[in-house]
Structure 1
Amino acid sequence: MKRKAFLIESKPGLSEEYKKRHNPIWPELKQELKKHGVCNYSIFLHENSESLFGYFEVEDEALFEKLGESEVMQQWWGYMTEVLVCESDQSLKAKEEMLSEVFHLD
Structure 2
Amino acid sequence: MSSSDTQHRVCFQLQVKPELIPEYRRRHAAVWPDMLLALKSTGWNNYSIFLRDDGLLIGYFETASLAAAQAGMAATEVNARWQAEMGDFFVALDGAPDTGFLQLTEIFNLEDQLDSLAAAAAAPTERSTS
Question: Which TM class, normalised by the smaller chain length?
Answer: 0.7 to 0.9
How far did residue 65 of structure 1 move? 3.1
The one of 85, 98, 106 equivalent to 2:91 is: 85
How far did residue 62 of structure 1 move? 4.9
Larger relative contact order, structure 1 or 2 (CA cutoff 8 Å, min sep 6): 1
| AA partner of residue 13 (structure 2) | L
Instruction: State the TM-score, normalized to the length of structure 1.
Output: 0.84
| AA partner of residue 22 (structure 2) | E
Task: Rate the CA distance shift 1:23–1:97 in 2: closer, same or farther, 3 A.
Answer: same
Structure with the bigger percentage of strand: 1
The one of 96, 101, 104 equivalent to 2:106 is: 101
How far did residue 22 of structure 1 move? 0.7
Structure 1: runs of 5 or more not aligned: none
| AA partner of residue 104 (structure 1) | N
Once residues 66 and 84 of structure 2 are traced to their aligned partners in structure 1, the CA distance between those partners, rounded to angstroms, is: 23
Cα RMSD between the aligned structures? Answer: 1.8
Instruction: State the TM-score, normalized to the length of structure 2.
Output: 0.70
Greater gyration radius? 2
Secondary structure in 2 aligned to 1:87?
A: coil
Structure with the bigger percentage of helix: 2
Once residues 60 and 49 of structure 2 are traced to their aligned partners in structure 1, the CA distance between those partners, rounded to angstroms, is: 6
2:115 aligns with none
Structure 2: runs of 5 or more not aligned: 1-6, 112-130
Task: Rate the CA distance shift 1:61–1:13 in 2: closer, same or farther, 3 A.
Answer: closer
1:44 aligns with 50
How far did residue 86 of structure 1 move? 4.2
How far did residue 81 of structure 1 move? 1.6
Secondary structure in 2 aligned to 1:25?
A: coil
Once residues 61 and 55 of structure 1 are traced to their aligned partners in structure 2, the CA distance between those partners, rounded to angstroms, is: 12
How far did residue 50 of structure 1 move? 1.0
2:70 aligns with 65
2:35 aligns with 29
